[in-house]
Amino acid sequence: MSPLGARFHHLLATTATSNLADGLVLVGAPLLVIQLTREPTAVAGVQAAFTLPALLFALHAGALADRHDRRSLLLGAAVLRAAVLALAGAAALTGWLPLPLLYLAVLVLGVGSVLFDTTTQSIVPDLVDREALGTANGRIIGAQTVMNNFVGAPLAGLLVALGAASVLLAPAALYLLAALLLLRLPRRPDPGPRAATRLRTEIAVGLGVLRHDAALRSIGLLASLLNLGNAAYFGVFVLFVVGDDAPMGLPEAAYGGLAAALAAGSVVGSLVAGRFEARFGPRRVLLGGTAAASLLMLVPVVTAALVPIVVIAVGLGLCSITVNVVSVSSRQRVVPPQLLGRVNATFRLLAMGAMPVGAGLGGVIASATSLRTLFVGVVVLQLAAILLLHRPIRDAALLGPAAAGQPIEATSPSSPSASLTTS
């Protein structure tokens, strides 16, 4: 039996199934859009719709994850996404699927994704020992990326050929399966009576953690700027790859294959992240990985050849997932369990909330200038962010107070000025 235990593997199976559905939608929806229009702002609108809930709902999702049974929240998120895609798929079967309806369906999916992903990150420490967090997060994030890209992306390209209804109904069935798998997860024990506090007050506590912890605050701001650039870059990258007038000139099905190359690197990253962190420390992995990923994004500026683009996709996957695993594990080590949902949600607000803004800006800038001009601007932004925010990110702060033999403390969750004691 794996040292991670059966309960963790129930969560892993649910995550894999849910993210396969995510991959079908997030790759399939832009391909449906470009059948109607190649306007960059319209294409980028899909990513903007999916990521907008992170800006509007992330903090509430974190408070809910700390306040309620986390299995029930995961179950609700899965059922919500299954229902909305079933309705959109039924509309597609009638031959009526306008862009506003597709955007609305993707927007609701984004709400479910925020709740599901925030709760998943918060429930992992309930299922595995502290020493196994790096391995567990590597498995979770690896499954998310593989199913999104390595399996979901190529399959989405095939489903598009079958029709819009297939792109929507197939993931609806997968979300329903994820809900059934969640029934095997145990409920969190009832913590007993708790002080009555307003949701807004509890949200303020999570925000206060980053306000008082320089290392976590710097990582959160860095993630925000990096994702702003990534959303601008990849929100229109399909226009660089697909179509006779695109620089690469590939067919639609090949776009999913390119995403699979990204996932191949992600698999490696999810497996080696824990080892890299143990050998080099979280600071070097976080900063070195983000710098390497940013530099790799310059390759399409100088060439549209298939082989170099595939190589950088693999490298981007490896760097990005390694950084993500270390970032999540650091939060889980440092933040007390009763605050973890809200802190994870604050990170999601900073990181994912920047994406709809980035996607919109990317479409506007690409329309006004060119794709390659946008790509250069994104890399400059990301490298500047690393230089600006790297100083507070120290190994001692990210390994957690328990690593130094000190207890993890937090002020009362009823106080909006709660902060962490870190070494």
Domain range annotation of the chain: 5-183+197-401
Residue showing tokens 């960059």: 40
- Structure-block tokens of residue 31: 């391909």
Residue among 242, 108, 100 nearest 171 (CA): 108
pLDDT exceeds 80 at position 389: yes
pTM over 0.95, yes/no: no
Residue among 141, 94, 64, 112 nearest 340 (CA): 64
Report the C-alpha gap between 96 and 88 in whole angstroms.
Answer: 9
Report the C-alpha gap between 382 and 98 in whole angstroms.
Answer: 35
pLDDT band at 405 (very low <50, low <70, confident <90, very high): very low
Report the C-alpha gap between 284 and 227 in whole angstroms.
Answer: 20
Residue among 266, 268, 237 nearest 254 (CA): 237
Taking the CA atoms of residue 90, residue 91, residue 96 and residue 102 in that order, the dihedral angle to the nearest 10 degrees is -120
Q: Counting beta carbons within 10 angstroms of the beta carbon of residue 253, is it exposed (0 to 12), middle (13 to 18) or buried (19 or more)?
A: middle
pLDDT for residue 418: 29
Rg (CA), the chain: 21
How many residues does the structure list for the chain? Answer: 423
The answer to whether 170 and 99 have CB atoms below 8 angstroms apart is: no
- 251: phi then psi, degrees, rounded to nearest 5: -75, 170
The answer to whether 299 and 312 have CB atoms below 8 angstroms apart is: yes
Residue among 79, 76, 81, 80 nearest 65 (CA): 76
What mean pLDDT is predicted for residues 387-396?
94
* Helices of type H across 132-281: 133-145, 152-162, 164-182, 199-212, 214-235, 237-241, 252-280
- Structure-block tokens of residue 138: 């590597």
pLDDT for residue 196: 57
pLDDT exceeds 80 at position 417: no
pLDDT exceeds 60 at position 406: no
User: ∠ at Cα 167 (163, 172), nearest 5°?
Assistant: 135
Report the C-alpha gap between 119 and 342 in whole angstroms.
Answer: 10
Which are the contacts of 361, defined by CB distance < 8 A and separation ≥ 6? 228, 232
pLDDT for residue 408: 35
CA 321 distance to own-chain centroid: 10
Could you give the C-alpha distances from 270 to 144, 149, 167, 394, 404, in angstroms and in order?
A: 10, 14, 28, 22, 26
pLDDT for residue 132: 79
Q: Which CATH superfamily is domain 5-183+197-401 in?
A: MFS general substrate transporter like domains (1.20.1250.20)
Q: Which residue has the higher pLDDT, 83 or 127?
A: 83
Each residue's pLDDT tens digit, 138-189: 888 888 877 876 788 778 878 887 888 888 999 999 999 999 999 888 776 5
Q: Counting beta carbons within 10 angstroms of the beta carbon of residue 243, is it exposed (0 to 12), middle (13 to 18) or buried (19 or more)?
A: middle
- Structure-block tokens of residue 374: 């946008």
Residue among 231, 205, 197 nearest 50 (CA): 231
What mean pLDDT is predicted for residues 243-247?
89
In this structure, what DSSP letter does residue 150 have? I
The answer to whether 34 and 76 have CB atoms below 8 angstroms apart is: no
Mean pLDDT of all residues in the chain? 84
